[in-house]
Amino acid sequence: MKYLMLVCTDPEPDTDPGSWPDVDRWVAENDGAGRRLLGSELAPASTATTVRVRGGELLLTDGPFAETAEVVVGFDLLECADLDEAIEVARTHPMAHAGRLEVRPLAEPGR
């Protein structure tokens, strides 16, 4: 089953960055095991363009839509047997120590 894992920042991490697991090692381990299909860091939120259509009018906003301390900074597409395995993969991600990871299954085709 495929899961999208959104990697988000936390404005005040609980631990020292020097104590976090190595992200390059995490990527290599999960790529090698076939659990990580694709992933990337994102450009800063300040480079975002938010697109909305209201009343037939196109509305563009530079930067993130909402003012928030947490922003999405990356993503990973995972292939896992089930949610328990996806949670275990997320638990070992370095940003689990400094931010938050949102894990969601991809919708079934036709839903």
Bridge-based pairing state of the strands 2-9 and 99-105:
antiparallel
The per-residue pLDDT for 91 is 96
Number of other residues whose CB lies within 10 A of the CB of residue 78: 24
**Residue 104 DSSP label:** E
Average pLDDT, the chain: 87
Quick one: pLDDT at residue 18?
Answer: 66
Region for residue 28 given its phi and psi (left: phi exceeds 0; alpha: psi -120 to 50; beta: otherwise): alpha
Q: What does CATH list as the number for 2-105?
A: 3.30.70.1060
Q: Are 32 and 24 in contact (CB under 8 A)?
A: no
> What is the pLDDT, as a whole number, of residue 2?
97
| Residue ranges of domains in the chain | 2-105
Element (H, E) at 86: helix 83-91
For 31-63, write each residue's pLDDT tens digit: 999 999 999 999 988 888 888 999 999 999 887
For residue 82, which phi and psi values (nearest 5 degrees)?
A: -165, 180
What one-character DSSP code corresponds to residue 58?
E
Block means of pLDDT (10 residues each) for the chain, 111 residues, are 92 62 91 97 87 94 70 94 97 90 91 67
